[in-house]
């Protein structure tokens, strides 16, 4: 787990996110000309000529007094503490500005090794402009163009020279990817911070503070978890900025690619249509899911309150009857540690495979209790049941005529599967197929 860490720092709009995406060779951080797009620390893994390290993209430093600027400053300081090496990115086109000198002074006090990188050096005849950055007192500036990839190989070579040897991570195949989704301001970032034990993500009462999907790697009880804190998903009518539009798309993609999804609900608010739509994203993608009711500490309760909440959730999110419900407080930490146990459990259910012989014993018992339906004098014949996939568990029902398989009977078979094998926390897919001539032979 102890790979070296490199942090990219600089003022807004010098190309930090573009450089981050270039070095990790993926489009992870949002790239936008609007200052202040990146607010939290975003992590990516870099591999270069046999070496590996974690790269951190940070928000643009301004040293202003508003709440968001102060939070960004605090996040950058945490990144500086964590990093073994710092990349100070500056803009060749503008030359050194007052903010660059302020940041340089802060980095000198930090006493970590710094590589000064003069970005946006696409055109020739920039030697004089690059030389101006010697005035920052951080040594020779390395000319690069993150947008075009110029000089980034040399930069990686230079990074490699400064890094301590890291230990290769093992057990990556056992890594569980867990996406945290929900409406803005339901406490996703607070939950990430409580899980990690550090202030990894900016938390304010301003909806939309998290713009990117934030990765957090945690080792717990010998297992690795990659928690992904996503931007709050708003109604389409509320998505006005291009940056927010792309961050919402990234949140949807994070949910769709996760092993387990934590769907956060706000205990202090009614379940909304937007909650239903967001949960539906993970359900349609076939992800394992846990319904996490946050801010439970703010609710006045008696011995019947939890049951009443649970009953309401089951009513409002009836299609998620398979998902376990847990009541937590990300603020106080109440029941947060129980999430690991539930995540492991629903991940196992999501990956469960049942032998065909056992499935057909179940099918025989089920059809004896409730015979297959008849339509226009023709009865559905079910030849056998077999599992064809996991994640989510997917079953093929081989029949004489798929049109005779009414959805209510397919639901009956799903309920029998759940009664016999659980499959708690995971949707089940059942595909009805006509028996082929090859299967008859």
Full 3-state SS string of the chain: CCCCEEEEECCCCCCHHHHHHHHHCCCCCCCCCCCCCCCCCEEEEEEECCEEEEEEECCCCCCCCCHHHHHHHHHHHHHHHHCCEEEEEEECCCCCCHHHHHHHHHHHHHCCCEEEEEECCCCCCCHHHHHHHHHHCCCCCEECECCCCECHHHHHHHHHHHCCCCCCCCCHHHCEEEEEECCCCCCHHHHHHHHHCCCCCCCCCCCCCCCCCEEEEEEECCEEEEEEECCCCCCHHHCCCHHHHHHHHHHHHHHHHCCEEEEEEECCCCCCHHHHHHHHHHHHCCCEEEEEEECHHHCCCCCCHHHHHHHHHHHHCHHHCCCCEEECCCCCCCCCCHHHHHHHHHHHHHCCCCCHHHHHHHHHHHHHHCCCCEECCEECCEEEEEEEECCCCEEEEEECCHHHCCHHHHHHHHHHHHHHHCCCCCCCEEEEEECCHHHHC
Question: Quick one: pLDDT at residue 242?
Answer: 40
Question: Quick one: pLDDT at residue 102?
Answer: 94
Question: Quick one: pLDDT at residue 190?
Answer: 83
**Fold adopted by 5-162:** Rossmann fold (3.40.50)
Question: Quick one: pLDDT at residue 231?
Answer: 61
Alpha-carbon Rg of the chain, whole angstroms?
26
For 96-143, write each residue's pLDDT tens digit: 999 999 999 999 988 889 999 999 988 766 777 888 999 999 999 999
Query: Which residues of the chain are in CATH 3.40.50.300 domains?
Result: 5-162, 172-350
For 332-368, write each residue's pLDDT tens digit: 989 998 999 999 999 999 999 999 999 999 999 999 9
Query: Which residues of the chain are in CATH 3.30.300.20 domains?
Result: 356-440
Question: Quick one: pLDDT at residue 9?
Answer: 93
Question: Quick one: pLDDT at residue 41?
Answer: 60
Question: Quick one: pLDDT at residue 217?
Answer: 74
Question: Quick one: pLDDT at residue 265?
Answer: 94
- Tell me the CATH number for domain 172-350: 3.40.50.300
Question: Quick one: pLDDT at residue 234?
Answer: 52
Q: What residues does 216 pair with on adjacent strands?
A: 227
Question: Quick one: pLDDT at residue 357?
Answer: 96
Report CA torsion sign: 137, 141, 145, 146: negative
Q: Which residues of the chain have a pLDDT value below 50? A: 1, 29-39, 166-173, 201-213, 238-247, 441
Question: Quick one: pLDDT at residue 214?
Answer: 60
CATH 3.30.300.20 fits 356-440, yes or no: yes
For 297-314, write each residue's pLDDT tens digit: 989 888 899 999 999 999
Question: Quick one: pLDDT at residue 262?
Answer: 95
């Amino acid at each position: 787990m102890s790979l070296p860490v490199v942090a990219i720092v600089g003022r807004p709009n010098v190309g930090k996110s573009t450089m981050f995406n270039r070095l990790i060779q993926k489009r992870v951080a949002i790239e936008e000309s609007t200052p202040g797009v990146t607010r939290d620390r975003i992590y990516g893994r870099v591999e270069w000529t046999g070496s590996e390290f974690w790269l951190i993209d940070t928000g643009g430093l301004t040293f202003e007094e508003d709440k968001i600027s102060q939070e960004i400053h605090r996040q950058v300081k945490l990144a500086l503490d964590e990093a073994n090496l710092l990349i100070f990115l500056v803009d060749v086109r503008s030359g050194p500005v007052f903010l660059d000198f302020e940041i340089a002074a802060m980095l000198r006090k930090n006493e970590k090794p710094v590589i000064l990188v003069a970005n946006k050096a696409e055109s020739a005849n920039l030697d004089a402009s690059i030389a101006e950055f010697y005035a920052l007192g951080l040594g020779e500036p390395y000319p690069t163009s993150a947008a075009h990839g110029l000089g980034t190989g040399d930069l990686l070579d230079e990074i490699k020279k400064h890094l301590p040897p890291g230990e290769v991570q093992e057990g990556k195949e056992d890594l569980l990817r867990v996406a945290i989704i929900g409406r803005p301001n339901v406490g996703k970032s607070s939950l990430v911070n409580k899980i990690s034990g550090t202030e990894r993500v900016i938390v304010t009462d301003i909806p939309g503070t998290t713009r990117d999907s934030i990765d957090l790697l945690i080792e717990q009880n010998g297992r690795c978890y990659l928690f992904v804190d996503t931007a709050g998903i708003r109604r389409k009518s509320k998505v006005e900025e291009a940056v927010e539009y792309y961050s919402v798309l990234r949140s949807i993609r994070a949910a769709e690619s996760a092993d387990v999804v934590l769907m956060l609900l706000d205990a202090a608010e009614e379940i909304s249509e937007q909650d239903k739509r967001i949960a539906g994203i993970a359900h349609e993608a076939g992800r394992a899911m846990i319904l996490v009711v946050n801010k439970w500490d703010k609710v006045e309760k008696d011995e019947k309150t939890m049951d009443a909440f649970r009953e309401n959730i089951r009513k409002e999110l009836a299609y998620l009857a398979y998902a376990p419900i847990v009541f937590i407080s990300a603020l106080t930490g109440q029941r947060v540690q129980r999430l690991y146990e539930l995540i492991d459990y629903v991940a196992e259910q999501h990956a469960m495979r049942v032998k065909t012989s056992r499935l057909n014993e179940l099918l025989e018992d089920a059809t004896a209790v409730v015979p297959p339906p008849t339509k226009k004098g023709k009865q559905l014949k079910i030849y056998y049941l077999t599992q064809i996939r996991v994640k989510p568990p997917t079953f093929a029902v081989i029949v004489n005529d798929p049109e005779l398989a009414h959805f209510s009977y397919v639901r009956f078979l799903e309920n029998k599967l759940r009664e016999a094998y659980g499959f708690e926390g995971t949707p089940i897919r059942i595909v009805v197929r006509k028996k082929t001539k090859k299967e008859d032979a």
